A and B are shown apart, each in its own frame.
Chain A
Amino acid sequence: MSRADVAAAILWTGATLYALFGGADFGGGFWDLLAGFDDETGARPRERIQRSLTPVWEANHVWLIFILVVLWTAFPEAFGAIMSTLYVPIALAALGIVLRGAGFAFRKSVQRLSYRRAMGAAFALSSVLTPFFMGTVVGAIAAGNVPAAGEGDAFASWLQPLPMLTGALFVLAGAYLAAVFLVSDSERAGDREMESWFAARALAAGVAAGAVALLGLIALHGEARYVYDRLIVEGLPLVILSILCGFGVLALLLARRRRGLRPLAAGAVVAVIWGWGVAQFPYLLPTSLRIDQAAAPGPTLDSVLIVFGAAVVVVIPALALLYWLSQRELLGD
């Protein structure tokens, strides 16, 4: 493995962590949105979601910054090409990030019900739109619609079936992860009612995500042949792993078992992300820009590796402490 490949693996690790934590965070907003228009019935799941998200949501999103920074430092050409082509969905995702962060932060602090509703709506709606647009970006890259020189078609690059399906998959995968995580959180809090509320939704989101993934595979066959061909050969073990994990989660949910639920659900998502990586390899932008072509000079890549090392030594233990304190309900307003 070359240094450039290692840097790409770091990028994918960041994407994986963002998908798991940021994705679940968006998913929390998804369920907030669907918790019912009636304030009474929606109050309990919303409260559970808020309680689980509050201490960790900020940290969950720093992985996005990590991805951006690694991408522009280690693979500046790819960053420029993606940004100058897919600026429409990326700007919309940025808009969603602003509305979501502000909505979430303000919602807790305002008292009047109508303000609370407006803030909550901003938070919940942007929790769905943001991952959708991020998904279209990934779908457009996989479909090879981002030319290495940049400035590809601003609309035709992402207004296609594959990017749309990828967007939907992002939303559903986040919803699925969130529901599974919230099942465990509710169980630990001893809230049986919310536990089964989220379990039912985890099941539905899992089935829906699986269906969209299947449709995505068909679109992949049509729009991203290079990626498809590698996915069903080199990526096959990961595809199978994802399917097994997905069915494992379904089985556990139906059997009302909670042990192993979270790792299996995470495994299903992680396997898809790495399957995508393997399928694209050795391209960063299939099939116009390879990892080694896009890579920054060696000393810059070394700096990225060192920074990643620092992240492992400093950030991961700190994050573990945060999640541990949060899971033991030692943090709260």
Chain B
Amino acid sequence: MSNLLAARELMAFTLAFHIVLASLGVALPAMILTANWLGLKRGDGDAMRLARRWSKAMAVTFAVGAVTGTVLSFEFGLLWPRFMERFGDAFGIAFAIEGIFFFTEAIFLAIYIYGWKRLGGWAHFWSGVPMVITGVGGAFSVVTANSWMNTPQGFTLDGAGKVVETEPLKVLFNPAWVYEVPHMILAAYMVVGFLVASIYAVGMLRGRRDRLHRLGLLIPLTVACIATPIQLFVGDTAAREVADHQPAKFAGMECIQESGPEQTEYVGGICTSDGVKASIPIPDLDSYLVGFSKDTEVTGLDEIPADERPPANTLLHLAFDAMVGIGSALLLLGLWLAWSWWRRREIPRTRWFLRAVAVSGVGAILALWCGWIVTEVGRQPWIVQGYMRTSEAVTGAQGIWFAFAGVLLLYAGLGAGAVLVLRAMSRRWRAEGDEEAGEGEVPYGPSEAVSG
């Protein structure tokens, strides 16, 4: 048991660390290329400078993301050898495709990042476009592998439980991919958009109100604010589908103890078998949300066998509420920006807006983590829903807690290193100002783009 818990905690921690970097790999290229396009099209030196700086930052985050991603692929085998052994031939297919996307992204990322000096302007821009496509393709592959764990199909088992036949297309296009994949891609765009914008919001709060900061705030914030309402729609659909596909997960998320119609929606609170304590109850709303009528029957935990109920019900419920709450707050932030832009073609003047943007990045990351807690903890005790328990999948190797402690230290160093390096880069850029050392002789770049 302890070994299982250690393996789950280690996997959760390394995934949580990686998902932030993976989001940057998925969505940052689009922001960079937007700035690059503005720079080339309008001869905008500030936009060009932003594109260049963001791509240098991405060189660091992508490198860290590549190693933490490699660690995860080792962990599949090191922590869950029984799972991989039994289901690798189905689960692995999506990862084989992901390999191609990741490979292509890494190649074009290298060409783009290291091509600023000597490639021509538009040739350089186009060398970056494959990153956007492969980022989205890679996200599809990885998330569809996860959605297969939630709604497994496309394989036949023999009497011993071994996979004897597979249908790769059914594996890839399992029922849950339709909502899980867009949910994650939009989440990546939101996380990166709000995160990058929040960095510039902090700069503006510190009095750096130049055009560069304004643009650095607006480009990513616009992308994120467009993604947010779409995300709320996708997320709402996803919740309904989960209620259908994984009733145990849904009952856990919403703290539904007994099956039946007229289910109360509980906002916050602590889940107990006698009902939800310390929450704000909204009568009948949960049934409305699931089936657009208060008569909609919703499955409760009482219908789920005790050994198939998700653990840590309160954690699950609060994570779900936190995700939805943060998402709604970010929607309001987007509406605030939209209103101000519609009225005066300007970001809201109050410092409170900048303060809100400054915390939006961290908020979006928290929402992302909460979403994955719902997905993963909500599927427990299964690793492959209905087919294999996580306890059957785990390694027999001992000492996972020690490995966990070591990984915590290592990743703390990795995270601190990445932040220090990025901050040092940003300080250097500020000190250098327009001159950006070593970039004076750039054949195309801020100076030429402005004059041309």
A residues contacting B by CB (< 8 A) are: 54-56, 58-59, 61-62, 64-66, 68-70, 72-74, 76-77, 79-84, 87, 90-91, 93-95, 97-98, 100-102, 104-106, 109-111, 150-151, 154, 296-297, 299-300, 302-304, 307, 310-311, 314-315, 318-319, 321-322, 325-326, 329-333
Contacts and interface: CB of A to CB of B under 8 A. Distances in A.
Q: Most A CB atoms within 10 A — which of B82, B103, B406, B410?
A: B103
B107 A98 contact: no
Interface stretch (B55-63, B226-234, B281-289, B368-376): B55-63
Given A297-B163, A332-B114, A303 B67 contact: no
Interface of B: 59-60, 62-64, 66-71, 73-74, 76-78, 81-82, 84-90, 92-93, 95-100, 102-104, 106-111, 114-115, 117-119, 130, 163-168, 395-397, 403, 406, 410, 413-414, 417-418, 420-421, 424-425, 428, 438
Given A79-B77, A101-B64, A318-B104, 7 more contacts: A58-B110, A95-B406, A98-B70, A102-B63, A310-B100, A325-B111, A332-B114
Contacts of A102: 63-64, 67, 413-414, 417-418
7 contacts: A76-B84, A77-B85, A79-B77, A105-B64, A109-B421, A300-B93, A321-B107
Chain B binding surface SS class: helix
B110 A315 contact: no
Contacts, number: 217
Given A58-B66, A79-B88, A98-B414, A84 B110 contact: no
Contact of A101 (B67, B81, B100, B107): B67
A151 B97 CA distance: 29
B104 A314 contact: yes
A84 to B, nearest CB: 4
A101 B66 contact: yes
Contacts of B96: 69-70, 73, 303-304, 307
Contact of B84 (A66, A72, A95, A110): A72
B71 A94 contact: yes
Contacts of A79: 77, 81, 84-85, 88
Contact of A61 (B66, B74, B95): B66
Contact of A90 (B74, B109, B414): B74
In order of increasing CB-CB distance, the 4 nearest A-B pairs are: A80-B85, A76-B88, A73-B92, A83-B77
Given A72-B92, A106-B417, A315-B107, A80 B82 contact: yes
Given A84-B397, A300-B166, A311-B100, A330 B106 contact: no
B161 to A, nearest CB: 13
Nearest to B62: A58
Contact of B103 (A59, A91, A304): A59
A151 B396 contact: yes
A322 to B, nearest CB: 5
